[in-house]
Amino acid sequence: MKDEPALDAVVIGGGIIGCMAGRYLLAAGRTVTILERSAIAAGSSAGNAGILAFPEIVPIPSPGIIWKAPGWLLDPLGPLSIRPSYAPRLAPWFWHFWRASARVNFERGHQVQAELMRLAEAEYAMIRKDARLTSFIVNTGTLDLYDTEQSFRAAAPGWVKKREAGFDFHRVGRSEIEALQPGLAPCFEHAIYSEDGLQVSDPADFTRAVADSLMQDGATLRIGEASAIEPTEAGARIRLADGRSIAARTVIVACGAWSKRLAGSLGETVLLDTERGYNTTLPASAFPLQRQLYFNDHSFVATPLRDGIRVGGAVEFGGLDLPANFKRADMLLKLAKRFMPGLETEGGRQWMGFRPSMPDCLPVIDRSKAAPNVLYAFGHGHLGLTQSAATGRLIAELAMQNKPSINLENLRFDRFSGR
């Protein structure tokens, strides 16, 4: 079969990262094709909490966190779970997670995250000016809740860093908590309220709207599963699972947790693993939720969406192939019921998605060494929606050989290889 003429820019992945990359490539004058194996927003972009978490600049791997992990693993309602059959494969990932929690590495990660988030916030301000997308982004405010004064005080250094980065918030006590969100358990007497807290009213519909805007502006969508990438003199060739191939001048790998396999086909090792996230979306009538809630001592959130209430979070390591364990979603609902006593937990829709995560909880935004016309955009963990517009900006700058808006040295795909 004769090969088709080479396409200009092919983005592998129809999630929010891929669609945002396509948006910025189009704006830079490139001809864009989105290559998606099933449907737009079929993965993590459909089931995330919808929070635009710009203030989340404090890295998860932080000094002392490694000593908390055993307690989390022993707690059936804890924020961390590891499938026993998958545990042996995690040793390299957790080794580098531990190294990332060292003070010097933590401070570097914080600076990188802060810079990336400032860019993300600025780019979303531009996204909100697009009449096709602005209605999806709403200001609900964010209430960060702590069980005890002790845990509130322990979190204080992180809030200092957020204030130093320019984010605005204030402490609230029991009466203000009740006014901001009636119906919470009386144990919550310590909280932080961020009036500027933004979220997307429906992550799946928003991603589809971004994709629709791309098609309106001239991009095309192709359905097909990429199985490998090969460098060519003029760019790269994408091998599809059905035996076909696509030649392109520029290829962007933005398929989340599946990106590791494509990088591997180029002979490049990426220390990417998969955090499996669980949630339940309840009917809007389940609770009068007025704003996004962070239950910080338990690592889960409750957010008001356009058509319901989403309760989700926590982390399970189990890779891409093991079956879902929806007991995790059930346990999160039990916690939510404890802290929101009036919550009606019946009639929900459960979901599990794959969060692509690097050990330092920073994404990969880089150029392949084996194939310089292949660009990497993945590994955003819990922050893919938040950082999607910034990633799109940076990928377009790489594709156009322009100086990136921020220093990308700490976002290299091979940053754990010792090079």
Angstrom distance (rounded) from CA 147 to CA 173: 12
Q: How high is the pLDDT of residue 232?
A: 97
Contacts (Cβ under 8 Å, ≥6 apart) of 236: 229, 230, 247, 248, 250, 251, 371, 373, 374
Query: 3-class DSSP state for residue 335?
Result: helix
Q: Does residue 76 register a pLDDT over 80? A: no
Q: How high is the pLDDT of residue 74?
A: 66
pLDDT in tens, 109-148: 999 999 999 999 999 999 999 999 999 999 999 999 999 9
Burial of 281 (0-12, 13-18, 19+ CB in 10 A): buried
Q: How high is the pLDDT of residue 77?
A: 63
Q: How high is the pLDDT of residue 314?
A: 75
- Return phi, psi of residue 157, to 5°: -60, -35
Give the mean model confidence (pLDDT) for residues 287-309. 96
Q: How high is the pLDDT of residue 1?
A: 44
- Are 355 and 276 in contact, with CB atoms under 8 Å apart? yes
What domains appear along the chain, each with residue ranges and CATH number? 1-57+102-126+198-269+360-419 (3.50.50.60)
Burial of 375 (0-12, 13-18, 19+ CB in 10 A): buried
pLDDT in tens, 221-252: 999 999 999 999 999 999 999 999 999 999 99
Alpha-carbon torsion 20, 22, 24, 26, what sign? Answer: negative
| Of 259, 233, 265, 217, nearest in space to 6 by CA | 233
Q: Lowest-confidence range among 248-262, 295-309, 318-332?
A: 318-332
Binned at pLDDT 50, 70 and 90, residue 185 comes out as very high
| Of 207, 206, 251, nearest in space to 228 by CA | 251
The residues facing 237 across adjacent strands are: 230, 247
pLDDT in tens, 366-417: 999 999 999 999 999 999 999 999 999 999 999 999 999 999 999 999 999 8
Q: How high is the pLDDT of residue 404?
A: 98
Q: pTM for the whole thing?
A: 0.96
Binned at pLDDT 50, 70 and 90, residue 66 comes out as confident
Q: Does residue 363 register a pLDDT over 60? A: yes
Binned at pLDDT 50, 70 and 90, residue 174 comes out as very high
Q: How high is the pLDDT of residue 67?
A: 81
- Return phi, psi of residue 135, to 5°: -70, -20
Contacts (Cβ under 8 Å, ≥6 apart) of 337: 343, 345
